[in-house]
Structure 1
Amino acid sequence: MIKKICLLTDSLGSGGAEKMVSNLAISLSEKGYTVTVVTMIDVVVYPYKGSLYNFGKIKNSNKLRSFFKFKSFFKTQQFDVILDHRVRSNFIKEFIFSKIIFKNEKVIYCVHHFNLELYFPLVNVPWLSRSTFVKNRGIVAVSKEIQKKISQRLGLESHVIYNYAILNSIGVHSDLDILSNSNYIIGVGRLTDIKQFNVLIKSYKDSKLIGHGIKLLILGEGVEKRNLNKLINDLHLNAFVKLMGFKSNALAYIQKAKALVLTSKSEGFPMVLIEALSLKTPVISFDCKSGPAEIIKHEENGLLVDNQNADMLTESLNKLLLNDAFYKKIKGNLNQSSNPFSEENNIQKWIDLLRKFK
């Protein structure tokens, strides 16, 4: 019987995939599994349960010595199953991992993004890409669109298990003046090109929200921070748009927001949309690949915008936020509907998969 689980992740901070590892560590531990979280980078922000092996802190300049430490750890631990949530884009690294470190392990490879190149190195050469996986394996995709793409491009079967939110850790630790005023919309995520917060800022500027005193808060850190600050300055939006940085209590901000907006080029199964809807906060999102179309019921729990249509995004901001009757309808639907992305529903799918995995 499978009881000893390793959750292998890049880190425990700042991303949706990492947040899902945090949630899984809590859920599986509470279900009686012995859980060890292994982080490749020394970033531990999100809560977890079980043990932590912070390889990011152990790594040193001697790559060979670090490699043998890593190999020895897995040989000693003898996990029943490894759930690998890392980005796996380096062919040589993943080939070595599969043939040496994980050769005799049972591994479930988790795919968190529609861009398969992040998880299947050399995806355009399927037989080489498949060679980076161990023989005793399973694959979990976080959306049906990703599952379909894995089948089409690699000829591999996979299971779909949606991300889910855990809401019992909401806390307000700072910015009480902001959180006491719910007259804002919010964007949450890494400040990277793929998240397109510049598109959100421009659409907000073109909307009528400023005239109604509705501000825009953006939570996250990343390489685009300087460019976004410049854009805010150039558009004279300093009094209305705030880059808040990374917040460990992001759920508190999402819960108080009038709406959450997602403007990504691509996704996997966006945690922020699930968290917002679980908190009864309406959402607006581009219909990007993948996830939003499987999460949002258009004009029932939010608005689904034609993919990358910035003008339609501006119209949607006005429609949701400035039409009181329509907004109350959406809020009412959220308050009355059940949550298909609950912990209870989706952790059971993980448990069922672990029980079947041999």
Structure 2
Amino acid sequence: MKKKKILIRIGSLRHGGAEKVLTTFLQNISPEKYEIDLLLNLYSGKYLKEIPDWINIYYLNHGEMITTNRFQDIPQKAYRVIFQKILRTFPSLLYRFILKGKKYDIEFAAIHGMRDDILNSPQKTSKKIVWIHNDLRKTEFHDYTDAEIRKFFGFDKIMVISEHIQKDFENQARTEDERKRIVRIYNPLDTHEILEKSKIPLHLPSSNFHPLFISVGTVFPQKGFDRLLKVHKKLLEEGFAHRILILGDGYDFENVKRLKTELEVDETATMLGFTDNPYPYIKSADYFVLSSRYEGFPTVLYEALTLNKPIVATDVSGVREMLNDGELGLIVENSEQGIYDGMKRMLTDPELATTYQNKILNFTHPFSLSNSVKKIEEILDLL
């Protein structure tokens, strides 16, 4: 059987949810059926070493992401911006010199940010797919209008990861053909990997054995860690002893860290930065908190559920699906007050946490790794 030639594009393989999901997918897709080229804007990220050897990796620039404006970094930063802009303006140069003139059956935007890069491909006969991981109405840098959403209908298939996102796209579809292009596929999630990595010994300071709330995610304003710290401060002032642990890194890290000091909670709130294995920390915590202002589909909740953690989560996209409409965790108003109410309820009602843990143990999730990979392969095979 002739292998389908597929080009997949993503910015980098840094520590983000979409990057992890793509890596898990590539680890489980059949090398017998596909020939895959992975094109990165920037050759960097923790998941690089986890990409299977049979996948060809190409890149536009090499090195770590530059997040500062230090004088010594400006020349390299400017070079990257100019170089990538030239390739976007003249994509035929990219396909000729970096991709070596290869022809593809399918071109795949692994994140919504690669939309225009794939749609402007000089290979007009290839089928086009996009994977939407976020609620595009509420993204960090760009709130998408109806007109912007409409541009995604240039793809042959639009893969979305939650019911909320699916409904938004369906509302913008103008024909039955456009509606059929939209397909909901839950992110491939590896339960075995989570359980195995959680077994690594971990020794957290007891700090008088106060209950520990953990939150994990890239430190962007989207994740609401500022709200979490303010709630933490308020609960402490009211006499509710507890600790906070935040795992993750990102451009907002120093701002959130500074807020932690300003709130005078450095003794009870810890920011450990990025770790390539958050699972032992989640396992050691008493509760998991999702304080996000918005999400696409928060797969971190699946990790917390796999490790049987009582959850407090703001009511953002994907949470009701993940927590089975509140059966498996406490869904709160998407506000600082909502986070406060949820954490306080956990601290004052220990039986609530036990109830959630018992329900988690007896629940079978639909988020099967094999099912998700199988559905994506079916899409690739039919195009």
Q: TM-score range by the shorter chain?
A: 0.7 to 0.9
> Are 1:313 and 2:314 matched, yes or no?
no
Superposition map of 1:137-176 within 5 A: 137-155=156-174, 156-157=178-179, 158-167=182-191, 168=193, 170-171=196-197, 176=202
Change (3 A) 1:234 1:175: farther
What is the match of residue 104 of structure 1? 125
What is the match of residue 18 of structure 1? 19
Change (3 A) 1:327 1:99: closer
Per-residue deviation, 1:127: 9.6
User: Unmatched 5+ residue regions in structure 1?
Assistant: none
In structure 2, C-alpha distance between the alignment counterparts of 1:4 and 1:255, rounded to whole Å: 41
> Are 1:293 and 2:332 matched, yes or no?
no
- Contact 1:126/1:154, CA 8 A, preserved across alignment: no
In structure 2, C-alpha distance between the alignment counterparts of 1:154 and 1:121, rounded to whole Å: 19
What is the match of residue 283 of structure 1? 311
What is the match of residue 249 of structure 2? 221
In structure 2, C-alpha distance between the alignment counterparts of 1:102 and 1:120, rounded to whole Å: 28
SS of the residue 1:109 aligns to: strand
Residue by residue, what CA displacement relative to the aligned partner does 1:272-310 show, whole Å, maximum 9, x if unpaired? 11222223223211112x1112111355311111222x2
In structure 2, C-alpha distance between the alignment counterparts of 1:326 and 1:171, rounded to whole Å: 27
- Contact 2:224/2:292, CA 8 A, preserved across alignment: yes
In structure 2, C-alpha distance between the alignment counterparts of 1:273 and 1:307, rounded to whole Å: 16
* TM-score normalised according to structure 1 size: 0.83
Amino-acid identity (%):
24
Worse-superposed segment, 263-272 or 273-282: 273-282
What is the match of residue 44 of structure 1? 45
In structure 1, C-alpha distance between the alignment counterparts of 2:214 and 2:184, rounded to whole Å: 29
Superposition map of 1:39-118 within 5 A: 39-46=40-47, 47-49=50-52, 50-51=54-55, 52-57=57-62, 62-63=83-84, 64=86, 67=91, 70-72=94-96, 73-74=98-99, 76-88=101-113, 94=116, 97-116=118-137
Superposition map of 1:164-313 within 5 A: 164-167=188-191, 168=193, 170-171=196-197, 176-178=202-204, 183-207=211-235, 214-288=242-316, 290-308=317-335, 310-313=336-339
Change (3 A) 1:176 1:278: closer
Per-residue deviation, 1:216: 0.9
Change (3 A) 1:5 1:227: same
- Contact 1:89/1:120, CA 8 A, preserved across alignment: no
- Contact 1:84/1:110, CA 8 A, preserved across alignment: yes
Change (3 A) 1:21 1:328: same
SS of the residue 1:228 aligns to: helix
Structure 1 residue identity aligned to 2:94: F
Worse-superposed segment, 173-182 or 184-193: 173-182
Residue by residue, what CA displacement relative to the aligned partner does 1:247-281 show, whole Å, maximum 9, x if unpaired? 11123322332222112221111121122222322
Per-residue deviation, 1:242: 0.9
In structure 1, C-alpha distance between the alignment counterparts of 2:300 and 2:190, rounded to whole Å: 12
Per-residue deviation, 1:230: 2.2
Per-residue deviation, 1:199: 0.7
Question: Once superposed, what is the RMSD of the aligned Cα atoms?
Answer: 3.4
Residue by residue, what CA displacement relative to the aligned partner does 1:197-219 show, whole Å, maximum 9, x if unpaired? 11111122223699665321111
- Contact 2:10/2:114, CA 8 A, preserved across alignment: no
In structure 1, C-alpha distance between the alignment counterparts of 2:240 and 2:360, rounded to whole Å: 24
> Are 1:129 and 2:151 matched, yes or no?
yes
In structure 2, C-alpha distance between the alignment counterparts of 1:48 and 1:320, rounded to whole Å: 40
What is the match of residue 67 of structure 2? none
Structure 2 residue identity aligned to 1:6: L
Change (3 A) 1:89 1:80: closer
Worse-superposed segment, 47-56 or 323-332: 47-56
In structure 1, C-alpha distance between the alignment counterparts of 2:94 and 2:44, rounded to whole Å: 18
In structure 1, C-alpha distance between the alignment counterparts of 2:249 and 2:30, rounded to whole Å: 30
Residue by residue, what CA displacement relative to the aligned partner does 1:167-194 show, whole Å, maximum 9, x if unpaired? 4265479993229989422111221222
Structure 2 residue identity aligned to 1:104: T
- Contact 2:5/2:36, CA 8 A, preserved across alignment: yes
* TM-score normalised according to structure 2 size: 0.78
SS of the residue 1:41 aligns to: strand
